Amino acid sequence: MTDLDIPKLVKELRERLGLTQEQFAQKVGVTFGSVNHWENGKRTPQPFLIRRLVELKEELDAENKMPLKRKPSK
């Protein structure tokens, strides 16, 4: 886990979800300041939060690999 680029991961997740730093902080259960510091490389999340961020990325990646559902033709 130590080889993760945390700032890049946090920003990528936040942008993929279309959230502001404040909205992302609420989703993850931390303060805006924490997310801001993570993205700017000033601080590193606790290990349990890093695991949650990785899980969130895996969930988003899995969703993107699912085939698009087609609307039934009339």
For every residue of 8-66, DSSP letters joined together read HHHHHHHHHHT--HHHHHHHHTS-HHHHHHHHTTS----HHHHHHHHHHHHHHHHHHHS
The confidence score (pLDDT) of residue 1 equals 45
User: Where do the structural domains in the chain lie, given as residue ranges?
Assistant: 6-61
CB 6 within 8 A of CB 41: yes
pLDDT at residue 65 tops 70: yes
The confidence score (pLDDT) of residue 61 equals 93
pTM for this model (two decimals): 0.80
Query: Which numeric CATH code is attached to 6-61?
Result: 1.10.260.40
pLDDT at residue 70 tops 60: no
Residue 10, token pair as written in the block: 């946090």
Residue 34, token pair as written in the block: 């924490």
Chain segment 3-40, per-residue pLDDT in tens: 789 999 999 999 999 999 999 999 999 999 999 999 99
pLDDT at residue 43 tops 80: yes
CA distance 20 to 67: 28
